[in-house]
Amino acid sequence: MHEFTDIELIELFRNADKKHYAFNLLVQKYREKIYYFVRRMVIIHDDADDVVQNIFIKVWNNLDSFREDAKFYTWLYRIAVNESLSFLKSKKLHSFLSLSSPEAMLIRALHDDNYFDGTEIQRRLTEAIIKLPKKQQIVFNMRYYDDLSYDQMSEILGTSVGALKASYHFAVKKIELSVFEN
């Protein structure tokens, strides 16, 4: 089977007869990668599924107007970052009303998660990441898990490479202190 490039898929999407086919191929190509990015941000499987669904709804609704001045994955990751942050912001409002910190709620959810099958050190790493400021959390996840370059992250986040390197450095130091303090 022919592996389509993103540009070919976008062109197919713009053809009314092939729109659904092209979109399904885009979803197949990126769903897992986007799911795991979102899951590391929102922690709970069902929440991640909901956020990913919202991301692909936005892609469907806006792909016709996608200006190819950026790479598709950059545009998609930007949507994923924004949707994840919006979801966490609404979760934070909910936690404010319940008098629990958002981090405490996410850590509790991690411990209660039937889908988490990692080791104790992976759980401690995830807890340390949850405790990071959101910007550092995003940068750490993109660099460590998604293996994105600083240039790619700069495109996605609209932040300088130097600032991203500093955020990653500080995130790593905080994680090391948190994971290895015991």
Query: What digits encode the pLDDT tens for the residues 22-57?
Result: 999 999 999 999 999 999 999 888 999 999 999 999
Domain match, 127 and 81 both: no
Q: How many angstroms separate the Cα of 54 from the Cα of each of 13, 47, 50?
A: 19, 11, 6
**Could you identify the residue written with the tokens 């759980």?**
123
Neighbours of 149 (CB within 10 A): 12
Q: Which among 99, 129, 146 is the end of a domain? A: 99
The per-residue pLDDT for range 116-129, each reduced to its tens digit, is 667 777 888 888 99
What pLDDT shows up at residue 116? 67
Strand intervals (E) in 84-142? none
Number of domains composing the chain: 2
The CATH number of whichever domain residue 64 belongs to comes to 1.10.1740.10
pTM: predicted TM-score of the whole model, two decimal places: 0.85
pLDDT digits (tens, 9 = 90+) for 137-159: 999 999 999 999 999 999 999 99
The pLDDT value recorded for residue 80 is 97
**95 located within any domain:** yes
Which structure tokens are listed for 17?
């007869």
- What are 73's two structure tokens? 């994955």
Supply the range of the domain harboring residue 49.
Answer: 1-99
Residues 27 and 93 in one domain: yes
Q: Is the dihedral of CA 7, 11, 13, 18 positive or negative?
A: negative
* Co-location of 13 and 72 in the same domain: yes
For residues 26 and 86, membership in a common domain is answered with yes
Q: Tell me whether residue 93 is in a domain.
A: yes
